Amino acid sequence: MSTEDKKYTSVHYSDYLALDKLLSAQNLRSEELGVPAHDEMLFIIVHQVYELWFKELIHDLESVLHSFEQGYVDERNIRVAVQRLNRITEIQKLLIDQLRVMETMTPLDFLDFRNYLFPASGFQSFQFRYVEVLLGLKSENRLTYNQAPYISVFSKEQREKLINLEAGKSMLEVVQDWLERTPFLEFKGFSFLPAYRGAVDRMITREKAAISQSSILTDEEKEMRIRMMGDTDSWFASVLDEKVHAQLMQEGKCKLSYRATVAALLINLYRDEPILQMPFMFINKLVDVDAMLTMWRYRHAQMVMRMLGRKIGTGGSSGYDYLQATAGKHHILSDFHNISTLLIPRSELPELPEDVKKGLNFYYSEKHKI
């Protein structure tokens, strides 16, 4: 039968979903070994459901990445990207919540079959690593254990896939390229950086004066606060001063290029302008995806502490300590979170010239004043 003929033939629910395969894929090791442990079924199903969701995450993330890697992003695609990222964060919420289902198994029940699992571990989840690499986590920024690269636990074919994926452009990189192309940093005679620099100077001078003149703070407290503001100054300098930013990049303290950082800042500050609304929502959703992944890491570590205490993992890591450390170290899009340091109140924002405002408005509403 040709594909054309096949199109409208009937299909059965169970065949369509390949339920035979799916429902016969729960093979309890404890049963095979003649010592059945009731909760192993839950353990397997929860992990399988995770892997299915990881598949969907990859499907959606790749589609967003591909729509950004062309060198030109159709504005219509940004709406689709926002929608897909939104779906991803909804799935991530489920992934975090699902750990509660896992926790209905008590640590003692887990011990009924844990010994049969060595050296299997979530550390060997190919799809989880694929998501991390797709988002932009680089090998050199990973925590390692057992003195072996993280890919050593995979088959040759899987290793090649991960290596090729990392060699290509990640989400962080395609978004960086897109941000670097933003035309609005120099737009219709308006130059964003000098205007922003002026506003920051005025704000910091005012804040320092307010601290110095405070009648509540002691001289020591004033000095300390002004010293602490110095740290904020250095963060501002990372945007205002390209050389400082280059130094931070070299030290691995930031990953996003100078121009892309400035563009992300502009989009954040002027997000109410019609043309910047979708790009803002996109960046915001991307930050959500990263934040949810970090939240999952913390939550998973917490569950591991509950299940295992300080026992080492089946994969050979220190267990809880290793997982807790990954939550901080494997934060992929932290540069977008750091943008908040650079935000200034709306009241301090340089007013955009009328012509620039018009340029950032929707063409139709500008023309017809609806």
Residues that bind ligand HEM (CB under 6 A): 46-47, 50, 102, 110, 121-123, 125, 128, 300, 304, 307-308, 313-317, 319, 322-323, 326
Helix (H) / strand (E) containing 292:
helix 274-308
Q: Shortest distance, CB of residue 294 to ligand HEM, whole angstroms?
A: 11
279 or 315: CB nearest ligand HEM: 315
CB of 103 closer than 8 Å to CB of 30: no
CA distance 279 to 271: 8
Beta bridge partner(s), residue 186: 191
Q: What residues have CB less than 8 Å from 139, skipping those under 6 apart?
A: 149, 150, 151, 166
Q: Assign 145 to helix, strand or coil.
A: strand
Packed helices 126-135 and 40-68: angle between N→C axes, nearest 10 degrees? 30
100 or 181: CB nearest ligand HEM: 100
Dihedral angle computed from the Cα positions of residues 58, 61, 63 and 66, in that order, rounded to the nearest 10 degrees: -120
CB of 176 closer than 8 Å to CB of 261: no
Q: Shortest distance, CB of residue 333 to ligand HEM, whole angstroms?
A: 16
Q: Shortest distance, CB of residue 300 to ligand HEM, whole angstroms?
A: 6
Q: Shortest distance, CB of residue 322 to ligand HEM, whole angstroms?
A: 6
Q: Shortest distance, CB of residue 318 to ligand HEM, whole angstroms?
A: 8
Q: Shortest distance, CB of residue 327 to ligand HEM, whole angstroms?
A: 8
CA distance 207 to 232: 12
